[in-house]
């Protein structure tokens, strides 16, 4: 639309013409030198300029440079016809145009509408219309909540004006009868402006509630204008950064959102600010609330954006928060503050009002915003196919956000209906999987009724207090069955053939209830009808036959008509080929008389028409050409292809030949190929196993020193008729590989190793039949024997006494097989504890002695000795025990002076020589001295006796329980008469096991009086 007119100015000034719809539209043009009437034109584009529907008053103003003006008004009506994918403002009147046609000419009976509302398409959901997803009888004239809507319109025809025929009044299914559109809110222009020292500070806080989370707050354009306060015309663009502080300027801003075609939406209302003044301008109260629409489970944030155009400090804030228009829930008067979380006061509509006061005594105008705290209803939404069949597995894809915007968990109800029926409960799961077949079975819907485009599925989602619905229409279709004939197209006279209906109905509900139709047209033109799934047809005459076949499902849908033309040709004779036995006259099959007996005759049968075999004939001939036997049998099944000759029918070890014929539909086949066979008595294996020592190796083990005679006892019943047999013997160790041992009838064998051997005899006759016999032969090893020769004692009570801690154990080794000792084991056992005191371990050696390691035996412990020997095949039994004990008895004698006489000896020497040990050494005694005797012993002697030359003796006594020190004295008055010269003392130590002696010799020089005489002289 263009606003057109004329302007003039008697002063011939340039004038500015503007057109304005308050808070909606503003444009201006300049008309130069308007002395005479000059035309002007200001275009308005309803879409591009975002003019909302409604009645608008346009003010057209003309202003000269001196701010004189004139103005006129005009009215314009903007109506909005809703279009697909369009954008409209909340509460804007809209109209959806509808049309109705019916190709049968039926009048319209009823309209219905459904609006599917997605409230969460935009930020700050305002809620959901109460009947979203449900049918209603009238249109919405406007929409109170933001979101995406899909509007669906259906009309119902009236083929007969009689309510008895209500089931035949059908709803339209035209998929063009729906449209999708967006309902949104105006953006909000918001800014603050201060003038400080001539410098202008502007802070933009504009936003669109529908896109509050977007980086651009949902805005695509900003329109700034400014003017001096007294000016009538606005200048486009932001004001300069520097303004004179002595003049007042008005600044205004409006913003445009992105919710429109090509991303250009509607303009906001103007936001106006005033700056600059010789006096004091009042402050401006301003704040934002994030979000304005909030869940009762969430929180709001109030941000103060108040300012003073003169940049004066704000000293008083006056807040009120009023719920539902009457209940003041919070207030504040004092320093800077913001309200607490509004959602904490519960569900309701809250008006937040703020006034601010500057420090120069002026109050702002009150500034208010509305905050809605709400329980958001669930946003029910789901997807399902629009066309299904009765057997289609339908996953109901639940698109409902769960939990909902408030964080509430949801419950669900799924209900379906067909045409005008009531709703059928389907499931309570979130995303169930259903089939129409289940609904048919559960609610008694007929198969015919189910085939309809009048189905709808409704989802109801509930958070416990609020619920919403989503509805989807769908069509249940029927698969048309298909028919096909399977069977031969060329047959032979007299054939009986089965023809199969290869019928398919993709609806399993119909597959078992198909009705079958066959029409057979014979070669003579006669027709026959059948109602079975498959048919059998006889063809008695040659010529051409035609088969037609179709099926009808329970819905009444008829398949295609399948046709098949069949040519019937004259019958031909069969053919027979012998397959068993496989031999020929020159190379007859050899049959084992015991395993196979008389032959199993086999043959192949063929017929050009595939006619079945009705009977067969077999003819057997001897080697001289005479007929030996004829067999002829009927075949009721047509499948016989073999005949077993009863046993015994034919002579053994004689050649026979045979031929065959088959009969079908009045014709014998030609004579078959010739086959030949001979029935042979197989040989029987047998042998004996005897050693040169008279042992039967089949019954008892033998030894390596034995010579084994293997003698065959094999026979063959056909030998008198000229048959003969050959021998083979194979020998296999239990863990080795079988090898050929001999091809002689009988032979000898001596084994070189032990173990179990399998001897297998194979005997074969001249026709290649063979038998075999296996016998296990056990060759055992005779274990060696070990006898201990040292120690020699066989009594634990009287063991061999060993005078060393490392004795050498010796033994004797014997083996009946002549095997030498390869290893030995020796154990020495403490008889008191039963513990093994020393052992050799397994020694690889032929030695028959072993030295006990040092440090293993203890003295005076009794030991048992055991030995085992190994001959390379096995260990001997443990030898009979021998017993020993280590006793290291010893005695070391010493002859000493008494302390007094030793002192006398030393004094004498000092007197003589000045040396205490010369001239009389320690072993020199005066006759008459008492001899002090001392023995040092080992081996715990029981007694220690000392015998002195001349027959004197003394018994020594131990000084402790360890019996290592023995002491005593020997004195006698006759000792004064001992002549000078040597005197020998013999120390004898004795215990229960042995006796040990030691001798000590001293010298007699002078008598005891000599000492005193010497001292007196001195």
8 A C-beta contact, residue 182 and residue 88: yes
Strand partners, 613: none
* Residue in 71, 73, 40 with CA at minimum distance from that of residue 55: 73
964 has a pLDDT exceeding 70 = yes
503 has a pLDDT exceeding 80 = yes
Whole-number pLDDT of residue 25: 84
Whole-number pLDDT of residue 1016: 46
**Three-state DSSP class for 511?**
helix
Element (H, E) at 304: strand 301-304
Q: How large is the average pLDDT for residues 176-186?
A: 86
CA 637 to chain centre: 55
Q: For residue range 594-606, list pLDDT tens digits in order.
A: 999 999 999 999 9
Q: For residue range 904-931, list pLDDT tens digits in order.
A: 999 999 988 999 999 999 999 999 999 9
Number of Cβ within a 10 Å radius of residue 456: 17
Q: For residue range 343-392, list pLDDT tens digits in order.
A: 999 999 999 999 999 999 999 999 999 999 999 999 999 999 999 999 99
Residue 788: half-sphere exposure toward Cβ, Cα within 13 Å = 26
- Edge-to-edge strands, sheet with 496-501: 485-486, 496-501, 534-538
What's the token pair of residue 1011?
Answer: 């000492």
pTM of the model: 0.50
Whole-number pLDDT of residue 310: 86
Mean pLDDT, the chain, integer: 91
1018 has a pLDDT exceeding 50 = no
Strand partners, 497: 537
**Three-state DSSP class for 911?**
helix
Q: Where are the beta strands (DSSP E) in 69-190?
A: 69-78, 87-89, 108-118, 135-136, 147-157, 178-184
Whole-number pLDDT of residue 1008: 84
Whole-number pLDDT of residue 174: 60
Tell me the Cα Rg of the chain.
Answer: 67
Place of tokens 């993709």: 506
Report the C-alpha gap between 125 and 60 in whole angstroms.
Answer: 39
Per DSSP, 438 falls in state H
Report the C-alpha gap between 535 and 962 in whole angstroms.
Answer: 121
Q: For residue range 648-668, list pLDDT tens digits in order.
A: 999 999 999 999 999 998 789
Q: For residue range 418-431, list pLDDT tens digits in order.
A: 988 889 999 999 99
Q: How large is the average pLDDT for residues 60-77?
A: 88
Strand partners, 592: 680
8 A C-beta contact, residue 579 and residue 572: no
Whole-number pLDDT of residue 221: 93
Q: How large is the average pLDDT for residues 525-533?
A: 93
Strand partners, 863: 830, 884
Per DSSP, helices labelled H in 693-770 are none
Per DSSP, 906 falls in state H
Least confident of 9-13, 270-274, 402-406, 595-599: 9-13
Helix-strand-coil split of the chain, %, nearest 5:
5, 50, 45
8 A C-beta contact, residue 390 and residue 280: no
Percent of the chain with pLDDT over 90: 70
Least confident of 174-188, 213-227, 485-499, 785-799: 174-188
Q: Where are the beta strands (DSSP E) in 124-198?
A: 135-136, 147-157, 178-184, 191-196
175 has a pLDDT exceeding 60 = no
236 has a pLDDT exceeding 60 = yes
Band the pLDDT of 49: cuts 50, 70, 90.
Answer: confident
Report the C-alpha gap between 883 and 837 in whole angstroms.
Answer: 13
Element (H, E) at 912: helix 899-912
Strand partners, 63: 16, 69
What's the token pair of residue 780?
Answer: 């055992």
Whole-number pLDDT of residue 85: 86
Whole-number pLDDT of residue 164: 85
Q: How large is the average pLDDT for residues 881-887?
A: 93
* Residue in 680, 698, 688 with CA at minimum distance from that of residue 770: 680
CA 471 to chain centre: 39
Instruction: Give residue 596's region: left, alpha or beta (phi > 0; psi -120 to 50).
Output: alpha
532 has a pLDDT exceeding 50 = yes
Length of the chain: 1018
What's the token pair of residue 957?
Answer: 């006594």
Q: How large is the average pLDDT for residues 211-217?
A: 91
* Residue in 404, 413, 382, 396 with CA at minimum distance from that of residue 463: 404
1015 has a pLDDT exceeding 60 = no
Query: How buried is residue 539: exposed, middle or buried, by Cβ count under 10 Å (0-12/13-18/19+)?
Result: buried
Strand partners, 935: 893, 966
Band the pLDDT of 1017: cuts 50, 70, 90.
Answer: very low
Q: What are phi and psi of 910, to 5 degrees?
A: -65, -35
């Amino acid at each position: 639309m263009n606003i057109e007119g004329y302007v003039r100015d008697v002063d011939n000034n340039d004038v500015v013409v503007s057109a304005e719809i308050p808070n909606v539209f503003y444009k201006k043009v300049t008309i130069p030198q308007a002395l005479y009437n000059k035309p002007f034109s200001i275009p308005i584009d309803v879409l591009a300029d975002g003019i909302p529907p409604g009645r608008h008053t346009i003010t057209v103003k003309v202003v000269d440079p001196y701010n004189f003006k004139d103005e006129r008004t005009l009215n314009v009506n903007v109506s909005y016809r809703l279009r697909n994918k369009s954008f409209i403002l909340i509460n804007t009147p809209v109209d959806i145009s509808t049309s109705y046609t019916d190709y049968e000419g039926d009048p319209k009976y009823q309209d219905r509408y459904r609006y599917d509302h997605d409230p969460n398409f935009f930020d700050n959901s305002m809620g959901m219309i109460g009947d979203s997803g449900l049918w209603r009888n009238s249109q919405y004239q406007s929409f109170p909540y933001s979101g995406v809507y899909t509007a669906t319109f259906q009309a119902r025809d009236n083929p007969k004006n009689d309510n008895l025929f209500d089931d035949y009044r059908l709803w339209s299914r035209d998929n063009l009868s729906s449209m999708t559109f967006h309902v949104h809110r105006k953006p909000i222009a918001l800014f603050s402006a201060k003038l400080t020292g001539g410098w202008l500070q502007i802070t933009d806080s504009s936003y669109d509630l529908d896109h509050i989370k977007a980086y651009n707050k949902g805005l695509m354009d900003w329109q700034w204008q400014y003017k001096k306060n007294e000016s009538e015309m606005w200048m486009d663009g932001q004001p300069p950064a520097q303004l004179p502080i002595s003049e007042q300027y008005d600044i205004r801003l409006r913003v445009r959102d992105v919710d429109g075609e090509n991303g250009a939406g509607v303009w906001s209302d103007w936001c106006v600010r005033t700056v600059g003044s010789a006096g004091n301008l009042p402050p401006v109260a301003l704040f934002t609330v994030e979000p304005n629409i909030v869940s009762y489970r969430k929180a709001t944030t109030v941000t103060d954006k108040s300012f003073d155009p003169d940049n004066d400090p704000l000293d008083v804030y006056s807040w009120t928060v009023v719920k539902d228009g009457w209940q003041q829930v919070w207030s504040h008067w004092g320093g800077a503050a913001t309200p607490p979380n509004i959602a904490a006061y519960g569900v309701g509509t809250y008006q937040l009002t703020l006034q601010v006061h500057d420090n120069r005594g002026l109050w702002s105008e009150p500034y208010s915003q509305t905050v809605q705290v709400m329980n958001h209803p669930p946003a029910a939404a789901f997807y399902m196919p629009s066309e299904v069949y009765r057997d289609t597995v339908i996953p109901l894809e639940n698109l409902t956000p769960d939990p909902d915007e408030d964080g509430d968990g949801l419950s669900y109800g799924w209900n379906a209906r067909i045409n005008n029926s009531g709703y059928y409960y389907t499931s309570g799961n979130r995303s169930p999987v259903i089939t129409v077949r289940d609904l048919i079975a559960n609610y008694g819907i007929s198969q015919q009724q189910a085939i309809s485009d009048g189905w709808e599925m409704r989802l109801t989602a509930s958070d416990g207090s609020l619920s919403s619905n989503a509805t989807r229409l769908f069509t249940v279709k029927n698969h048309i069955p298909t028919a096909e004939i399977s069977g031969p197209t060329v047959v032979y006279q007299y054939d009986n053939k089965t023809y199969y209906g290869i019928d398919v109905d993709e609806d399993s509900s119909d597959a078992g209830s198909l009705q079958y139709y066959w029409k057979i047209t014979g070669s003579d033109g006669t027709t026959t009808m059948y109602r079975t799934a498959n048919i059998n047809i006889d063809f008695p005459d040659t010529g051409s036959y035609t088969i037609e076949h179709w099926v009808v499902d329970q819905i009444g849908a008829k398949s295609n008509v399948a046709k098949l033309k069949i040519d019937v040709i004259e019958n031909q004779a069969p053919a027979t080929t012998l397959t068993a036995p496989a031999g020929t006259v020159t190379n007859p099959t050899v049959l084992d008389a015991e395993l196979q007996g008389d032959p199993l005759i086999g043959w192949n049968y063929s017929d050009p028409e595939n006619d079945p075999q009705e009977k067969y004939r077999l003819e057997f001939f001897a080697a001289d050409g005479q007929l030996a036997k004829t067999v002829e049998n009927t075949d009721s099944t047509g499948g016989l292809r073999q005949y077993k000759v009863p046993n015994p029918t034919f002579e053994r070890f004689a050649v026979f030949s045979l031929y065959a014929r088959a009969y079908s539909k009045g014709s014998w086949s030609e004579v078959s190929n010739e086959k030949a066979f001979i029935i042979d008595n197989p040989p029987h294996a047998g042998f004996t196993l005897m050693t040169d020592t008279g042992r039967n190796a089949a019954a008892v083990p033998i030894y390596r020193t034995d010579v084994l005679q293997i003698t065959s006892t094999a026979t063959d019943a056909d030998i008198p008729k000229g048959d003969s047999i050959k021998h083979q013997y194979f020998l296999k160790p239990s863990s080795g590989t079988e090898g050929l041992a001999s091809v002689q009838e009988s032979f000898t064998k001596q084994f070189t190793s032990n173990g179990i051997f399998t001897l297998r005899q194979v005997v074969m006759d001249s026709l290649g039949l063979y038998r075999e016999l296996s016998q296990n032969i056990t060759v055992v090893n005779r274990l060696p024997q070990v006898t201990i020769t040292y120690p020699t004692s066989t009594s634990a009570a009287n063991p061999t006494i060993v005078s060393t801690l490392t004795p050498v154990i010796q033994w004797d080794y014997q083996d009946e097989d002549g095997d030498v000792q390869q290893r030995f084991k020796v154990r020495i056992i403490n008889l008191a504890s039963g513990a093994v005191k020393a052992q050799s371990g397994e020694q690889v050696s032929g030695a028959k002695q072993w030295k006990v390691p040092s440090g293993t035996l203890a003295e005076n412990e009794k030991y048992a000795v055991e030995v085992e020997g190994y001959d390379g095949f096995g260990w001997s039994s443990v030898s009979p025990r021998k017993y020993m004990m280590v006793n290291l008895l010893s005695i070391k004698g010493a002859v000493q002076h008494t302390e007094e006489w030793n002192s006398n000896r030393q004094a004498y020497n000092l007197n003589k020589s000045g040396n205490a040990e010369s001239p009389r050494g320690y072993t020199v005694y005066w006759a008459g001295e008492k001899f002090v005797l001392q023995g040092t012993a080992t081996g715990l002697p029981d007694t220690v006796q000392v015998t002195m030359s001349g027959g004197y003796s003394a018994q020594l006594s131990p000084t402790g329980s360890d019996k290592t020190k023995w002491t005593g004295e020997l004195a006698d008055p006759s000792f004064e008469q001992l002549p000078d010269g040597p005197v020998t003392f013999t120390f004898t130590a004795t215990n229960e096991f042995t006796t040990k002696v030691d001798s000590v010799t001293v010298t007699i020089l002078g008598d005891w009086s000599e000492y005193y005489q010497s001292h007196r002289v001195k």
